[in-house]
């Protein structure tokens, strides 16, 4: 798979079970600029939003109240914290938080106006399949926004990436994840590429789904709605 070492699902679950109690104050601040950049765009849109990899729900209070938010995550430990956050903050625009595999989303085709995956693509076992699912559940004319770290071969950033590799592996990341894994494997139209702080370690890719129907790159998810929510 484009030279990326596969990560199995159980390794991801174990990693995030360890990190869930401290995730918000350890990794959270590093990722905050990219998260804010994506949320600023999303809050200017209308309708329904799916956040894939909602984690502890740190983004949920920051979404505009006119949006209807659905979140999914593979980790029950992360979701417990997210659901607690929804209750404590009395968030009224959260339609549901579901334990779900991002590569097999249990939503209908074209179910959401916006789909966002922040710091997710490097931790899933099959990012190409996940990308196809993000595309499938997005409405024609809607947007798919991805915030992620992508590997670089040279310069100061490559030095920093090598220094961060032990922490990345502890979190279950692909430290060698390449941007081409995303841009070369989708039928979505890339409308923006934005380098993000700190030091360009992260990148935001903003896609729009064409209005004209195109052949789906992966099988559809189940038609039945999810059974587990917040």
Whole-angstrom distance, CA of residue 181 vs CA of residue 3: 10
The token duo for 223 is 């038609």
Query: Does residue 71 lie in a domain region?
Result: yes
* 3-class SS of residue 2: coil
Distance CA(119)–CA(101), nearest Å, equals 15
| Residue-range definition of the domain harbouring residue 126 | 9-208
Q: Is 198 helix (H, G, I), strand (E, B) or coil?
A: coil
Smallest CA-to-CA distance from 220 within 110, 140, 127 is with 110
For the packed helices 155-170 and 9-19, what is the interaxial angle rounded to 10 degrees? Answer: 90
Check whether the bond before 198 is cis (ω within 30° of 0).
yes
Nearest Cα residue to 225 out of 86, 72, 7, 87: 72
pLDDT digits 0-9 by tens, 75-105? 898 899 999 999 999 999 999 999 999 999 9
pLDDT of 46 reads 98
Q: What confidence tens digit (pLDDT) does each residue in 100-124 have?
A: 999 999 999 999 999 999 988 887 8
Does some domain include residue 228? no
Q: How many structural domains compose the chain?
A: 1
91: CB partners within 8 A, 6+ apart: 60, 61, 69, 85
- pLDDT-based confidence at 178, cuts 50/70/90? confident
Query: Do residues 135 and 188 touch, judged by C-beta distance below 8 A?
Result: yes
Considering all CA atoms of the chain, what is the largest pairwise distance in Å, rounded to the nearest integer? 48
The pLDDT of residue 169 is: 53
Neighbours of 18 (CB within 10 A): 14
pLDDT (tens digit per residue) in 51-64: 999 999 999 999 99
Domain membership of residue 217 (yes or no) is: no
Residue 222 lies in a domain: no
Look at residue 215 and tell me if it is in a domain. Answer: no
Q: What is the pLDDT of residues 127-177, one digit of tens each?
A: 889 999 999 999 999 999 999 877 665 555 555 556 555 555 555 555 566
Give the count of alpha carbons within 13 A of 138, CB side only: 32
99, 101, 191, 230 from 71: Cα distances, Å: 9, 12, 24, 9
192-226 confidence digits (pLDDT tens) = 999 987 666 789 999 999 997 655 455 444 445 56
Q: Classify residue 3: in a domain, yes or no.
A: no
What CATH number does residue 146 fall under? 3.40.50.150
* pLDDT above 50: residue 4: no
182 lies in some domain: yes
Q: Residue 223 falls within a domain, yes or no?
A: no
Residue 183 has pLDDT above 50, yes or no: yes
């Amino acid at each position: 798979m484009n030279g990326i070492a596969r990560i199995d699902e159980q390794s991801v679950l174990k990693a995030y079970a360890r990190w869930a109690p401290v995730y918000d104050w350890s990794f959270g601040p590093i990722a905050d600029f990219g998260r804010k950049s994506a949320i600023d765009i999303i809050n200017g849109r209308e309708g329904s939003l799916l956040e894939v990899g909602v984690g502890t729900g740190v983004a949920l209070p920051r979404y505009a109240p006119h949006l209807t938010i659905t979140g999914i995550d593979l980790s029950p430990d992360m979701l417990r914290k997210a659901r607690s956050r929804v209750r404590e903050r009395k968030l009224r625009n959260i339609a549901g938080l579901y334990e779900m595999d991002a590569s097999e989303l249990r939503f209908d085709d074209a179910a959401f106006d916006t789909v966002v995956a922040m710091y997710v693509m490097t931790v899933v076992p099959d990012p190409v399949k996940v990308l196809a699912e993000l595309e499938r559940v997005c409405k024609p004319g809607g947007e798919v926004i991805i915030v992620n770290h992508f590997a670089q071969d040279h310069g100061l950033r490559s030095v920093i990436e090598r220094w961060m590799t032990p922490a990345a592996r502890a979190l279950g990341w692909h430290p060698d994840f390449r941007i081409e894994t995303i841009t070369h494997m989708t039928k979505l139209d890339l409308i923006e590429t934005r380098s993000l702080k700190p030091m360009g370690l992260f990148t935001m890719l903003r896609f729009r789904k064409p209005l004209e129907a195109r052949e789906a790159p992966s099988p559809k998810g189940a038609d039945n709605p999810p059974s587990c929510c917040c």
